[in-house]
């Protein structure tokens, strides 16, 4: 049986992906769970595993090609049907199929047709038995491109066309990122961000954006232009949390400051579920599970490639040490570009920590369709007055919540931060 291999979806916002490299060649025997190809999405570079044991019968989409989610990229001949001889049967009279047969097409012709957005069913084959060959596809492309320019209109979504008009952009100068080169909203927003940069008279060295940064630019511009952000900032005394961390360390359990924050965030979201939600089609969808996306920088500090957000699933049911273990595994996979599709899907709330860079406080941009994100700064040793007006040193952490005003309000967001603060300042509730 021939099984389709499709471009997987790695998160709610993923619309397309680029095949970076095929790890198996056509004709190779593969096992279920074995890495088959690498893809790059708006979130990360990921190895995609084979879901079927058998033989890689045909690769349709070559490396370097971008296709939409769900597109067929290859076929696997399932193991159950490989080299299985059918029992001898008595001769029968030939019959005529009631349903039309699929028109045969060579692998090269299929690839060329896919690259040019052509449906093989609309191409007449000149090869043996009506088989479609490369020359047939090229002839169809030539014929299509010869159509007068008046009918060769740019493929632009209505929203993208309206935005381009508002910002005075020339659509002919914008490259569409959707299938078949269609220009969509995020392409216009990315162009707006690029246009906003002031021109320089100094010598320029242009560096093309990585796919990760290009997609992120469009999505973040969309978030800021469509989501009514508001921000609340709070200082937290981390003294007891650091004592807890040292206590666990003496027992051989490694827990980072970010792990403590993730656990406290999960406790706060349990009490304020409207922040553990998604906003879509004018409705607030409350999520049953607390899946925390953790922003991780990809690349080194000198040449960063962008951010990805692997997800620690079901944090509401995990112990602190379990959260720490899962977060460490995900961070390692992210930096090695070995994240799996499941590692990037299902996030309901994001935590972004720049404390390791010495950043004291910042405001993060909400990652739609989520409705909030927590920005975490660096620990600072500061002097404060206690209840008796005595000065004492405090290890202070500053956090800022960015929230969607369509989904929540200031009072509710403040309540969430107060629960977070109480959990970290008490600290030992994190291990109950």
Task: Find residue 375's DSSP bridge partners.
Answer: 352, 400
The DSSP 8-state label assigned to residue 428 in this structure reads G
Secondary structure of 238-257 as H, E, C letters: CHHHHHHHHHHHHCCCCCCH
* Angle formed by the axes of helices 257-271 and 320-335, nearest 10°: 120
- CA-nearest of 430, 346, 412 to 14 is 346
Distance between CA atoms of 235 and 320, rounded to whole angstroms?
22
Q: Are 156 and 182 in contact (CB under 8 A)?
A: yes
405 is catalytic: yes
- CA-nearest of 408, 376, 406, 382 to 394 is 382
CA 131 to chain centre: 39
Q: Quote the radius of gyration of the chain (alpha carbons, Å).
A: 27
CA 82, 109, 117, 30 dihedral sign is positive
Distance between CA atoms of 285 and 348, rounded to whole angstroms?
10
Distance between CA atoms of 170 and 188, rounded to whole angstroms?
10
Catalytically annotated residues: 405
């Amino acid at each position: 049986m021939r099984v389709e291999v499709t471009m997987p979806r790695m998160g709610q916002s993923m619309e397309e992906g680029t095949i970076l490299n095929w790890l198996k060649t056509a004709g190779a025997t593969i096992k279920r769970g074995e890495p088959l190809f690498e893809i790059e999405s708006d979130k990360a570079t990921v190895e995609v595993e084979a879901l079927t044991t058998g033989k890689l019968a045909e690769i349709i989409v070559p490396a370097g090609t971008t296709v939409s989610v769900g597109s067929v990229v290859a076929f696997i001949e399932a193991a159950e049907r490989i080299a299985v001889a059918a029992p001898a049967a008595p001769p029968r009279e030939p019959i005529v199929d009631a349903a039309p047969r699929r028109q045969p097409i060579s692998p090269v012709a299929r690839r060329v047709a896919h690259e040019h957005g052509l449906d093989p069913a609309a191409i007449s084959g000149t090869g043996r038995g009506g088989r479609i060959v490369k020359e047939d596809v090229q002839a169809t492309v030539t014929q299509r491109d010869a159509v007068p320019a008046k009918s060769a209109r740019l493929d632009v979504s209505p929203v993208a066309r309206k935005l381009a008009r508002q910002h005075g952009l020339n659509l002919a100068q914008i490259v569409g990122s959707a299938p078949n080169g269609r220009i969509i909203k995020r392409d216009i927003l990315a162009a707006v961000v690029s246009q906003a940069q002031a021109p320089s008279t100094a010598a320029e060295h242009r560096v093309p954006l990585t796919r990760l940064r290009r997609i992120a630019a469009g999505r973040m511009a969309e978030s800021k232009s469509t989501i009514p952000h508001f921000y609340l900032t709070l200082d937290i005394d981390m003294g007891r949390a650091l004592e807890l961390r040292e206590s666990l360390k003496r027992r051989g359990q490694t827990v980072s400051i970010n792990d403590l924050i993730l656990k406290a965030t999960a406790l706060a979201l349990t009490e304020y579920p409207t922040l553990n939600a998604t906003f879509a089609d004018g409705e607030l969808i409350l999520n049953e599970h607390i899946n925390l996306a953790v922003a991780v920088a990809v690349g080194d500090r000198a040449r960063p490639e962008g951010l990805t957000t692997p997800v620690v699933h079901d944090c509401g049911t995990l112990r602190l040490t379990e959260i720490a273990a899962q977060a460490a595994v995900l961070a390692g996979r992210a930096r090695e570009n070995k994240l799996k599709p499941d590692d990037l899907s299902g996030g309901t709330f994001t935590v972004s920590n720049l404390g390791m860079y010495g950043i004291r406080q910042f405001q993060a941009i909400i990652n739609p369709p989520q409705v909030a994100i927590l920005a975490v700064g660096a620990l600072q040793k500061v002097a404060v007055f206690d209840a008796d007006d005595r000065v004492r040193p405090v290890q202070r952490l500053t956090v800022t919540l960015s929230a969607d005003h369509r989904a929540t309000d200031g009072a509710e967001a403040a309540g969430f931060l107060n629960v977070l603060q109480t959990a970290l300042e008490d600290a030992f509730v994190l291990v109950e």
